[in-house]
Amino acid sequence: MERIYLTGNDRVERFENNLVNVHLADGRVLEALEPRRLFPVNMIDKYITLLDSEGVEQCVIRSLAEMGEESRAVLQASLDDYYLVPHITRILSSNEKYGTLRWTVETERGIKSFDIRNRNHDIRVNRDGSIRVRDADDNRYIIEDYHTLDKQSRKALLADL
């Protein structure tokens, strides 16, 4: 199968939920595709794959900047919704049982409770003070700068590192 690379000549429109339809410049229409980042951490606006319902790649976008304004907005909204990462603003409690941490945190989307299986692998402190947390269900959370957390939250966090 030939790999199709989308350009500004192609048009992307919202279908439903996070799915999109692609209208290729040659008149073909690809329906109900899921946009996913091939490099979700370090190149969030480049190399976007569009997958069909079977998870098979149908086309690729080298850069969102190459797409038309309306298509780019549709794609960005779909990606933002799929890759939503709640920001932890406070750690309300931290308990350990059988080697698993149970955190209750406050995020901009409300209070969440989740388990962290492996603190050494699932809590990543970056040089800039941000922290990425992955829970037992593979959901991700971020603390933008742990230095700005309140005293109780910092104490709980440092005890768990």
pLDDT averages per 10-residue partition of the chain, 161 residues: 91 94 97 94 91 95 97 95 91 95 96 95 93 92 95 94 86
Q: What is the pLDDT of residue 113?
A: 97
Tell me how far the alpha carbon of residue 43 is from its chain's centroid.
Answer: 12
Residue 8 identity: G
Per-residue pLDDT at 1:
61
Check: CB of residue 145 under 8 Å from CB of residue 131. no
Q: Hey, how many other C-beta atoms are within 10 angstroms of the C-beta on 158? A: 10
Q: Where are the beta strands (DSSP E) in the chain?
A: 5-6, 11-14, 20-23, 29-37, 46-51, 57-63, 88-97, 100-107, 110-116, 123-125, 131-134, 140-143
pLDDT of residue 144: 93
Domain boundaries, the chain: 5-82, 88-160
Distance in angstroms between the alpha carbons of the first and the last residue of the chain: 47
CA atoms of 49 and 90, how far apart (whole Å): 35
Query: Which tokens go with 40?
Result: 């979700």
Cα(10)–Cα(108) distance, integer angstroms: 36
Residue 47 CB coordination number (10 Å)? 16
Residue 141 burial (CB count, 10 A) = 20
